[in-house]
A and B are shown apart, each in its own frame.
Chain A
Amino acid sequence: EAQVTQNPRYLITVTGKKLTVTCSQNMNHEYMSWYRQDPGLGLRQIYYSMNVEVTDKGDVPEGYKVSRKEKRNFPLILESPSPNQTSLYFCASSFSGTGDYNEQFFGPGTRLTVL
């Protein structure tokens, strides 16, 4: 089944404790992206990747890191989480980062709470 998977689905942590949220897709998509969803703000892009080893900042990149060493994986790293990073996080992928046929497929989400 074609899908985007994220792990963990739920995470409660404390301020300053480094964490990684994994994202994997099995559709051979070039483009991957991370979003955070907060009430009343919709989804905001954190980072995106056009292809392996090509990443760039989205609208809200502060406090996050990413890497794209393999085409299928795009982990999100919080080196020193803070309470304002408590949010619902979505990973997404699409066949290409350009062109009209850039429908994004979303993972199920990771709910992160930073105490």
Chain B
Amino acid sequence: AQSVTQLDSHVSVSEGTPVLLRCNYSSSYSPSLFWYVQHPNKGLQLLLKYTSAATLVKGINGFEAEFKKSETSFHLTKPSAHMSDAAEYFCVVSERGRGGGNKLTFGTGTQLKVEL
């Protein structure tokens, strides 16, 4: 069975400093991995996805993530935080479910706070 662990429920950074949101996963097969962002009172928006083409994945708004199979990690980073990055971030793993379709498993989320 697949699972996702987001290691920090809250992360606080200063504007202009790097962001690191940590995610570890467990999967029986080669998974697809995603990061979604949820701004207050909004739906979820895809930031980036890993589908085995390249281990370093670039997403929107300057975010990127590196897939490390040996560490079963898919940490999300950004070199310089902006106030507009304040949101909740979800790491998601996808693999084939019992019904044949893809099953998504969400992490519990990391709330990112950006301070002046």
Contacts and interface: CB of A to CB of B under 8 A. Distances in A.
A58 B102 CA distance: 11
A41 B108 contact: yes
Contacts of A45: 103-104
Contacts of B102: 31, 94, 97-99, 102
A108 B100 contact: no
A102 B44 contact: no
Nearest to A103: B46
Contact of A42 (B41, B51, B107): B107
A27 to B, nearest CB: 14
Interface in B80-114: 90, 94, 96, 99-104, 106-109
Given A102-B32, A102-B102, A106-B44, 5 more contacts: A42-B107, A98-B96, A98-B101, A98-B102, A104-B104
Contacts of B49: 103
Interface in A31-66: 31, 33, 35, 40-45, 48, 50, 56
Summarize A's interface: helix, strand, loop or mixed.
strand
A100 B51 contact: yes
Contacts, number: 61
B52 interface: yes
A98 B99 CA distance: 10
Nearest to A40: B108
Contacts of B99: 48, 50, 56
A93 to B, nearest CB: 12
Contacts of B51: 100-101
Given A42-B90, A100-B52, A90 B44 contact: yes
A25 B100 CA distance: 22
A104 B90 CA distance: 13
A81 interface: no
Interface in B25-55: 32, 34, 36, 41-46, 49, 51-52
In the complex, the 4 A-B pairs of residues with the closest C-beta atoms, listed nearest first = A97-B101, A42-B106, A100-B51, A106-B43
A110 to B, nearest CB: 10
